[in-house]
Amino acid sequence: MDLNTTLDQVYGIGPNIYKRLQKLGLNTAKDAIFYYPFRYEDFSNIKQISELVDGETTTIRGKIILLNNKRSPRKKMNLTEALIEDDSGQIQIIWFNQPFIKNNLSVGEEIYLSGTIKNSLMGLSMTNPSYEKTLRDTTHTARIVPIYPTTENLTQKQIRYIIKKCLPVSYIIEDTLVKEIIEQENLICLGDAIRQIHFPDNEESLQKARERLSFDEVFYLLCLSKAIKNENQKNTAPIIKFREEKIKKFVDNLPFELTKSQKISAWDIFKDLEKNIPMNRLLEGDVGSGKTIVAIMASYNTILNEHQAIFMAPTQILAKQHFEKIIQIFENSNISICLFTNKERLIYNGKNKIAKTFSKAKIINEIKTGNINIIIGTHSVIGKDVEFPHLGLVIVDEQHRFGVRQRHELIERTKDISPHFLSMTATPIPRSLALTIYGDLDISRITEKPLGRQKTITKLVSNKNRSRAYEFIYNQIEKGRQAFVICPLINDSDKLGVKSVLSEYEKLNNDIFPNLDIKFLHGKMKESEKNEILKNFANNKTKILVSTSVIEVGIDYPNASIMMIEGADRFGLASLHQFRGRVGRGTHQSYCFLFTDNYSKKTIDRLEILESTDDGFKLSEFDLKTRGSGDLYGNVQSGFLSQIKIADLSDFELIKKAQKWTNEIFLSDPELTNHKELKDKLSEFIKNVHLE
Ligand code: ADP
Ligand code: MG
Q: Whose CA is nearest to atom 10 of ligand 1?
A: 288
Which residues approach ligand 1 with their CB closer than 6 A? 256-259, 262, 285, 287-293, 426, 450-451, 554, 556, 558, 585
How does pLDDT run across 509-537, given as a tens digit for each residue? Answer: 999 999 999 999 888 888 888 888 988 99
H/E element holding 397?
Answer: strand 391-397
Q: Whose CA is nearest to atom 13 of ligand 1?
A: 290
Whole-number pLDDT of residue 552:
55
H helices of 487-600, in order, are 501-507, 527-538, 573-580
Whole-number pLDDT of residue 12:
87
Q: Are 576 and 610 in contact (CB under 8 A)?
A: yes
How far is it, in rounded angstroms, from Cα 627 to Cα 638?
A: 17
Nearest bound ligand to the CA of residue 328:
1
Q: Which amino acid is at 292?
A: T
- Report angle CA 248, 252, 256 to the nearest 5 degrees: 130
How does pLDDT run across 78-120, given as a tens digit for each residue? Answer: 889 999 999 899 999 999 888 888 888 899 988 888 888 998 8
3-state secondary structure of 264: helix
How far away, in angstroms, is 539 Cα from ligand 1 center?
19
How far is it, in rounded angstroms, from Cα 222 to Cα 216?
A: 10
Higher pLDDT, 641 or 660: 660
**Best probe residue, ligand 1, of 250, 252, 256, 445 (max atoms within 8 Å of C-beta):** 256
How far away, in angstroms, is 600 Cα from ligand 2 center?
34
Higher pLDDT, 343 or 294: 294
How far away, in angstroms, is 526 Cα from ligand 2 center?
23
How far away, in angstroms, is 289 Cα from ligand 1 center?
6
Nearest bound ligand to the CA of residue 296:
1
**Best probe residue, ligand 1, of 292, 328, 448, 577 (max atoms within 8 Å of C-beta):** 292
Higher pLDDT, 420 or 317: 420
- Which whole number is the average pLDDT over 489-515? 79
pLDDT at 645 over 90: no
User: Which is nearest to 172 in space by CA: 33, 311, 55?
Assistant: 33
Neighbour count for residue 305 (Cβ, 10 Å): 18
Confidence of residue 38 (pLDDT cuts 50, 70, 90): confident
Nearest bound ligand to the CA of residue 560:
1
Confidence of residue 497 (pLDDT cuts 50, 70, 90): low
Whole-number pLDDT of residue 636:
44
Whole-number pLDDT of residue 72:
75
Average of per-residue pLDDT values in the chain: 86
Q: Are 340 and 322 in contact (CB under 8 A)?
A: no
How far away, in angstroms, is 554 Cα from ligand 1 center?
11
Confidence of residue 364 (pLDDT cuts 50, 70, 90): very high
User: Which is nearest to 652 in space by CA: 613, 616, 617, 621?
Assistant: 621
How far is it, in rounded angstroms, from Cα 92 to Cα 81?
A: 7
Task: Locate the ligand 1 atom nearest the alpha carbon of residue 452 and give its number.
Answer: 25
Give Dmax (Cα) for the chain: 97
How far is it, in rounded angstroms, from Cα 683 to Cα 678?
A: 9
3-state secondary structure of 608: helix
How far is it, in rounded angstroms, from Cα 650 to Cα 214?
A: 12
- The residues, any chain, with a CB within 8 Å of residue 541's CB and separated by 6 or more, are 517
Query: Which residues have a beta carbon within 5 Å of ligand 2, which is an ion?
Result: 554
How does pLDDT run across 256-308, given as a tens digit for each residue? Answer: 999 999 999 999 999 999 999 999 999 998 877 899 999 999 999 999 999 99
pLDDT > 70 fraction of the chain, expressed in percent and rounded: 91
Q: Are 187 and 33 in contact (CB under 8 A)?
A: no
- Which whole number is the average pLDDT over 647-653? 82
How far away, in angstroms, is 285 Cα from ligand 2 center?
9
Q: Which amino acid is at 55?
A: G
Whole-number pLDDT of residue 138:
58
Sheet harboring 308-312: ordered strands across?
356-357, 345-349, 336-340, 374-377, 308-312, 391-397, 420-425, 280-285, 442-446
pLDDT at 337 over 90: yes
Nearest bound ligand to the CA of residue 293:
1
User: Which is nearest to 301 in space by CA: 219, 363, 385, 243?
Assistant: 243
Radius of gyration of the chain (CA): 30
How far is it, in rounded angstroms, from Cα 675 to Cα 178?
A: 8
CA atoms within 13 A on the CB side of 439: 25
Whole-number pLDDT of residue 151:
76
Nearest bound ligand to the CA of residue 284:
1
How does pLDDT run across 594-639, given as a tens digit for each residue? Answer: 999 888 888 888 899 999 988 887 888 777 776 665 544 444 445 5
User: Which is nearest to 312 in space by CA: 553, 532, 551, 558?
Assistant: 553
Q: Which amino acid is at 459?
A: K
How far away, in angstroms, is 281 Cα from ligand 1 center?
20
Task: Locate the ligand 1 atom nearest the alpha carbon of residue 446 and give its number.
Answer: 2
How far is it, in rounded angstroms, from Cα 623 to Cα 615?
A: 13
For the chain, how far is it from start to end, CA to CA, in angstroms?
35
How far is it, in rounded angstroms, from Cα 84 to Cα 108?
A: 10
H/E element holding 362?
Answer: helix 360-368
- Report angle CA 270, 271, 275 to the nearest 5 degrees: 110
Q: Which amino acid is at 424?
A: M
pLDDT at 139 over 70: no
Residue 131 burial (10 A CB sphere; 0-12, 13-18, 19+):
buried
User: Which is nearest to 225 in space by CA: 688, 678, 692, 686?
Assistant: 686
227-228-234-239 Cα dihedral, nearest 10 degrees: -140
Q: Are 317 and 534 in contact (CB under 8 A)?
A: yes
DSSP letter assigned to residue 277: S
How far away, in angstroms, is 270 Cα from ligand 2 center?
20
How far is it, in rounded angstroms, from Cα 367 to Cα 373?
A: 8
How far is it, in rounded angstroms, from Cα 151 to Cα 613?
A: 37
Whole-number pLDDT of residue 281:
93
How far is it, in rounded angstroms, from Cα 44 to Cα 534?
A: 60
Neighbour count for residue 643 (Cβ, 10 Å): 18
Q: Whose CA is nearest to atom 19 of ligand 1?
A: 290
How far is it, in rounded angstroms, from Cα 639 to Cα 396?
A: 17
**C-alpha distances in angstroms, 644 versus 60, 188, 641, 664, 683?**
36, 19, 5, 22, 17
How far is it, in rounded angstroms, from Cα 562 to Cα 27?
A: 49
Whole-number pLDDT of residue 392:
95
Whole-number pLDDT of residue 96:
85
How far away, in angstroms, is 181 Cα from ligand 2 center?
42
How far is it, in rounded angstroms, from Cα 346 to Cα 656?
A: 48
Q: Are 533 and 519 in contact (CB under 8 A)?
A: yes
Q: Are 162 and 7 in contact (CB under 8 A)?
A: yes
Q: Which amino acid is at 160?
A: R
3-state secondary structure of 153: coil
- The residues, any chain, with a CB within 8 Å of residue 120's CB and separated by 6 or more, are 54
How far is it, in rounded angstroms, from Cα 282 to Cα 269?
A: 10
Higher pLDDT, 260 or 447: 260
Beta partners for 460? Answer: 594
How does pLDDT run across 305-336, given as a tens digit for each residue? Answer: 999 999 999 888 889 989 999 999 998 888 99
How far is it, in rounded angstroms, from Cα 66 to Cα 166?
A: 36
pLDDT > 90 fraction of the chain, expressed in percent and rounded: 46
Lowest mean pLDDT among 64-78, 132-146, 598-612: 132-146
Question: Domains plus CATH for the chain?
Answer: 45-142 (2.40.50.140), 244-446 (3.40.50.300), 457-613 (3.40.50.300)
